[in-house]
């Protein structure tokens, strides 16, 4: 029998020498962590602004920015200061008690987004789950859908997170296969097809859940007028429009919400990623009081949701966004990015999509695969990630300079064309 003392003795033997090289760290990941990612072979040890440094001391331009979680770059001084100040005060209370960062954060976020109420959570997937729960309860209690029969219409090629309910309505087999049984109550229609949406909406439709730009699908912008039509169809049917702005929101496209480009407002928005300033996970559902107001004590919650550290960072993010500087940067740099990328079409690049400082770049057939192109870019000091097959997704931090942006685009030009 192994005693406690035996086990302590076993663990007190000297640990193996600390790994120093890239390959040693990767070997540890391979052995000790689940293999649910396939990272590029770079081991990051530091970051500042639009740059990261690896364990060997090499520096790279970050052209992915944590899928937009790092919109303000690595360790933005104002965000680090807000977090540090809060670390010295109080970090967690649970929602069993009030705390002095909560109300101010909710008010600031509502004012920034022009909404009436905020439901803070942590991850993006939790925000989407929360919006689904709220929409269902609203349908049953306010719209008058018979209990348990509320339905939600979603788009093909969506990405809304990784929970069992959310993968239930994914159309990506890798995300879904083997994870059933699936949650019922979702209807999938082709993205960008308003007629298909019109045909799918019934009296039992609680909501339409849509990404204004589909990031994971390859930065797909729907046909102009589509989102306005989604709004009109929701109004006609008395259904809620839920915009998942977790990746597209908070100035990635040059506006607080990507929906603004189409002059459309949603009833509920999900936010995440950049809301945590690249420091802590912070997500939220924001929207109409008469919809979010259906929740009563005990019906929904999260131990960490809306904690003091998250709120302090979230408030600092809202302050940065309110200056207008990041919207301007995303717009101006985005124009530059798209002008230059358009020039690559026909030179190793098949098509480019996107909005603001955000682009999906399809490598032409015969060129490198998306994975191989990402690896070649890493060798040239630029980090970005392929999405499906041969598409590169480009989303640099909004703090990037035009010279840095050009350096990254030069590398893409060389890799796609050569």
Ligand X SMILES: *Cc1c(COP(=O)(O)O)cnc(C)c1O
- Residues marked as catalytic: 159, 244, 273
* CA–CA gap between residue 272 and residue 283 (Å, rounded): 4
Site for ligand X in 226-245 (CB under 6 A): 244
Give the H/E segment covering residue 411: helix 402-417
- In angstroms, what is the minimal distance from the CB of 127 to ligand X? 7
Q: Is 123 in the site for ligand X (CB under 6 A)?
A: yes
With respect to ligand X, which residue has the nearer C-beta, 314 or 367? 314
Work out which of 218, 272, 277, 278 binds ligand X, going by CB under 6 A: 272
- In order, the DSSP letters of 35-100 are ------S--EEEEEBTEEEETTS-EEEESSHHHHTTTT-BT-HHHHHHHHHHHTT-----TTS--T
Count of residues near ligand X by CB under 6 A: 15
Q: How far is the CB of 66 from ligand X (least distance, A)?
A: 9
Q: Which of residues 158-197 bind ligand X (CB under 6 A)?
A: 159-161
DSSP 161-206: -SSHHHHHT---HHHHTT--SPPP-EEEE-TT-HHHHHHH--TTEE
Cβ closer to ligand X: 130 or 247?
Answer: 247
Give whichever of 192 and 348 is closer to ligand X, judged by the CB atom: 192
Per-residue binder mask for ligand X (CB under 6 A), 190-229, x = binder:
---------------------x---x--------------
283 near 120, Cβ under 8 Å?
yes
Smallest CA-to-CA distance from 168 within 157, 180, 159, 158 is with 180
Strands (E), 251-406: 268-271, 283-287, 349-354, 359-363, 382-383, 385-386, 391-394
Cα separation, 204 vs 328, in Å, equals: 41
358 binds ligand X (CB under 6 A): no
Does residue 124 touch ligand X according to CB under 6 A? yes
Nearest approach, Cβ of residue 213 and ligand X (Å): 9
CB nearer to ligand X: pick between 285 and 291? 285
Q: Give the nearest distance from C-beta 166 to ligand X in angstroms.
A: 8
Binding mask 127-146 for ligand X (x = CB under 6 A): -x------------------
Nearer to ligand X, 283 or 374 (CB): 283
Smallest gap from Cβ 346 to ligand X, in A, equals: 30
- Rounded Cα–Cα distance for residues 70 and 64 (Å): 8
Q: In whole angstroms, what is the distance from residue 211 CA to residue 325 CA?
A: 24
Contact 165, 128 (CB under 8 A): no
Question: Per-residue string for binding with ligand X, 246-265, x by CB under 6 A?
Answer: xx------------------
Ranges within 61-120 binding ligand X (CB under 6 A): 67
Q: How far apart are CA 222 and CA 231, in angstroms?
A: 14
Task: Give the tokens for residue 86.
Answer: 């809060």
- Residue 75 beta carbon to ligand X: minimum distance, rounded to whole angstroms: 20
In the block, which residue shows the tokens 């689904």? 132
Closer residue to ligand X, CB minimum distance, 145 or 154: 154
Which residue's CB is nearer to ligand X, number 215 or number 367? 215
Minimum gap (Å) between residue 266 Cβ and ligand X: 13
Dist CA 323 CA 325 (whole Å): 5
Interacting residues with ligand X (CB under 6 A): 67, 123-125, 128, 159-161, 211, 215, 244, 246-247, 272-273
């Amino acid at each position: 029998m192994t005693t406690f003392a035996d086990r302590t003795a076993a663990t007190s033997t000297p640990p193996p020498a600390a790994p120093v090289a890239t390959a040693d760290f990767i070997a540890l990941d391979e052995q000790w962590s689940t293999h649910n990612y396939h990272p590029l072979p770079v081991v990051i040890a530091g970051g500042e602004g639009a740059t990261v440094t690896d364990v060997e001391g090499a520096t790279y331009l970050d052209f992915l920015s944590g899928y937009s979680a790092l919109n303000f770059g690595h360790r933005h001084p104002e965000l680090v200061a807000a977090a540090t100040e809060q670390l010295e005060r109080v970090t967690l209370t649970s929602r069993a008690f009030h705390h002095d960062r909560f109300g101010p954060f909710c008010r600031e976020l509502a004012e920034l987004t022009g909404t009436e109420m905020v439901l803070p959570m942590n991850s993006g997937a939790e925000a989407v789950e929360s919006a689904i729960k709220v929409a269902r309860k609203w349908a049953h209690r306010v719209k008058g859908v018979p209990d348990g029969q509320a339905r939600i219409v979603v788009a093909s090629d969506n990405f809304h997170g990784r929970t069992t309910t959310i993968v239930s309505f994914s159309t990506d087999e890798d995300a879904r296969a083997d994870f059933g049984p699936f949650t019922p109550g979702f209807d999938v229609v082709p993205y960008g097809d308003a007629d298909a949406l019109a045909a799918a909406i019934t009296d039992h439709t609680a909501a339409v859940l849509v990404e204004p730009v589909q990031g994971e699908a390859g930065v797909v912008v729907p046909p102009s007028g589509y989102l306005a039509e989604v709004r009109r169809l929701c109004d006609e049917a008395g259904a809620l429009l839920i915009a998942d702005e977790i990746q597209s929101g908070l100035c990635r496209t040059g506006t607080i919400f990507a929906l603004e480009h189409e002059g459309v407002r949603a009833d509920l928005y999900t936010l995440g990623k950049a809301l945590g300033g690249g420091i802590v996970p912070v997500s939220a559902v924001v929207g109409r009081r008469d919809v979010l107001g259906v929740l009563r004590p005990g019906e929904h919650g999260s131990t960490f949701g809306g904690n003091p550290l998250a709120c302090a960072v979230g408030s600092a993010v809202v302050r940065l966004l309110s200056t207008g500087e990041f919207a301007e940067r995303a717009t101006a740099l985005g124009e530059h990015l798209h002008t230059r990328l358009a020039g690559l079409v026909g030179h190793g690049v098949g098509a480019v999509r996107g909005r603001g400082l955000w682009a999906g770049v399809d490598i032409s057939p015969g060129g490198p695969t998306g994975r191989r192109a990402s690896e070649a870019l890493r060798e040239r000091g630029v980090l970005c990630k392929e999405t499906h097959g041969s598409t590169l997704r480009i989303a640099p931090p909004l703090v990037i300079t035009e010279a840095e942006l050009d350096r990254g685009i030069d590398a893409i030009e060389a890799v796609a064309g050569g």
